[in-house]
Amino acid sequence: MSKVAIKMEMVGQTFGPFEREYNFRDLILFALGCGAGIDGKTDLQYVYEKDLKILPMFAAMPIVDSEVTKTIDYGYNYAGSLHWGFDLQFHKPLTKLSGKLSTYVLLKGLYDRGPDRGLLAQHIGETFDETGEKIFTNESWDCLIYDGGFGGPKPPKDIVEIPDREPDFEVEERIPENQALIYRLSGDYHPQHIDWEYAKANGQMKPILHAVSFAGVACRHFINTFIPGEPERLTRFKTRITASLLPGATIKTQMWKMADNKIHFRVIDAYTQAKPYLNFGIIEWK
């Protein structure tokens, strides 16, 4: 059973607004935390203020910010909190290089996977700009590995087909050892990404990389392959996080074209090709 009482009465409540002001420096820092510009020249559009573009994965931050995760406390063990998946949908192009975002987060559901597999928490974050216009929605899932077996409902099934054939496109990249140290400065300060003793006490060999960070790497790979120079055309980015990624790994984003403006994708280790880090991914654009 869960070591703490899970507060099922919080399901259905909306929290916020969580407000975030940003400018070009925040956008650049975020992109650096997703590996942009690592060799001094790749993806400079995200890290150079001249003709700056927004890496769309920036839209994931308002819901995974440490303030949000600690405010919506339904009785879980923070040490066992892992990002499990998200589905970003863009309602208008993400092009404004400074502004103020307001995010309202609905705790949509708490699901029991059993004492050995943890609790799944479903959040729906809706983010608005200063004019009150909704610009993106993020359905975000967390897995709380220490909190299963509390007697809650079972999670819904969500099946995304990954074709049983060779990918149509592949992009490979090595993750720098310090990428998590950069990414955390965008607002996700969980100690599992920097504290070696903490990480080992919770079953990791060393601090792990933030899921949004390596999802941002995959997002860059997609944009460069299908819509180079036009990240604002992205309308959806959905994925599941299926394994922890250690900085220093070399990853490979595998992409399958499913329609004119739709791919399915996954991210694997380029050498071991073991269990994917990201799987069941969908990207759509216009």
**What does the block give as tokens for 201?**
């006490």
1 pLDDT tier (thresholds 50, 70, 90): very low
Instruction: Indicate if the alpha-carbon torsion angle 216, 212, 65, 9 is positive or negative.
Output: positive
pLDDT reading at 21 higher than 70: yes
pLDDT reading at 2 higher than 80: no
pLDDT at 3 (0 to 100): 53
Between 39 and 133, name the one with better pLDDT: 133
pLDDT at 7 (0 to 100): 95
pLDDT reading at 38 higher than 90: no
Rounded to the nearest integer, the mean pLDDT of the chain is 94
Provide the whole-model pTM: 0.94
pLDDT digits (tens, 9 = 90+) for 60-119: 999 888 788 889 999 999 899 999 999 999 999 999 999 999 999 999 999 999 999 999
pLDDT at 4 (0 to 100): 60
174 pLDDT tier (thresholds 50, 70, 90): very high
pLDDT at 34 (0 to 100): 97
